[in-house]
Structure 1
């Protein structure tokens, strides 16, 4: 049974129900996004960082400084997992904790200059890799990809919650693919 058939059948058996066009597009899109993300991460890894740590750092870059609970919520992980991730990257000098000025009992996590530089370096290297791949495509394929970016960003803005229990792992509950020029997922 093909991946498309399984996905189409799964979407038919669970709520909410999607049109067959949406189910087929989802079945076509999902493996491409995952494989492209994996290719980029394998070819330009975040040295010394797990994918969960890299994603957490990018979340702090995008939305920080953050309280630990906010980070856990955004990453769709449990608080102890978020704390463990931050403890590891703090030992690497990539983040620092400081008192929350609005609540002396809480701490905020923010990137250090070293953390910003690490994310920036990885992002630049990943952009070089993607540019080299794009260069090998036809003009029409590059235009199609460029035209799809706003729609993909709109999908990310919807940010549907992950599955129940997704936070029981060391990684984020759902993959995040948005990456700006300075972000290094």
Structure 2
């Protein structure tokens, strides 16, 4: 009879291992040396399209004041632009610039290459297949948090 999985122990182990992986990827030198909050907001803008500063703050789970400071810093670097909302001229939408999209794309490519090198050295075919099978499960778990 199969042993039952202790979900509390599994949660602790997953948090530790996924946290370690995320930290290692974040520690990789960043092009343009953006802060973590700047990278996160910029990535969300790049992937999600135009949004108001208050909506971005909610998505990032930070205060509107904190997001305002982040957006100003990104604007000063030419990575974020403001435009009037075509549906409501009183609102301002933020969007990533071409320079931002290039920066985010470079960073993603660098991190993917780093992961590919790690996977290509020291994992056998069965382990790689197991990791590939787990990816959708991790995504589904993240969506439920």
TM-score by structure 1 length? 0.72
How much has 1:100 moved relative to structure 2?
0.9
Higher relative contact order by CA 8 Å / sep ≥ 6: 1 or 2?
A: 1
Q: Is the 8 A contact 1:61 1:116 kept in 2?
A: yes
TM-score by structure 2 length? 0.91
Whole-angstrom distance in 1 between the partners of 2:14 and 2:109: 25
Matches within 5 A, 1:146-165: 146-158=132-144, 160=145
Q: Does 1:139 align with 2:86?
A: no
* Runs of 4+ off more than 6 Å: none
Count how many residue pairs are aligned between Structure 1 and Structure 2.
Answer: 141
Runs of 5+ unmatched residues, structure 1 = 1-18, 161-185
Q: Which residue does the alignment assign to 1:124?
A: 109
After superposition, the C-alpha distances for 1:125-179 in whole angstroms (9 at most, x for unaligned) are 1111000000121222211111111111112222x3xxxxxxxxxxxxxxxxxxx
Whole-angstrom distance in 2 between the partners of 1:90 and 1:66: 14
CA gap of 1:147–1:44, structure 2 versus 1, over 3 A, is farther
Larger helix share, 1 or 2: 2
Q: Does 1:28 align with 2:28?
A: no
CA gap of 1:141–1:20, structure 2 versus 1, over 3 A, is closer
Secondary structure at the residue paired with 2:6? Answer: helix
Q: Is the 8 A contact 1:65 1:108 kept in 2?
A: yes
Aligned-residue RMSD, C-alpha: 1.5
Runs of 5+ unmatched residues, structure 2 = none
Secondary structure at the residue paired with 1:124? Answer: helix
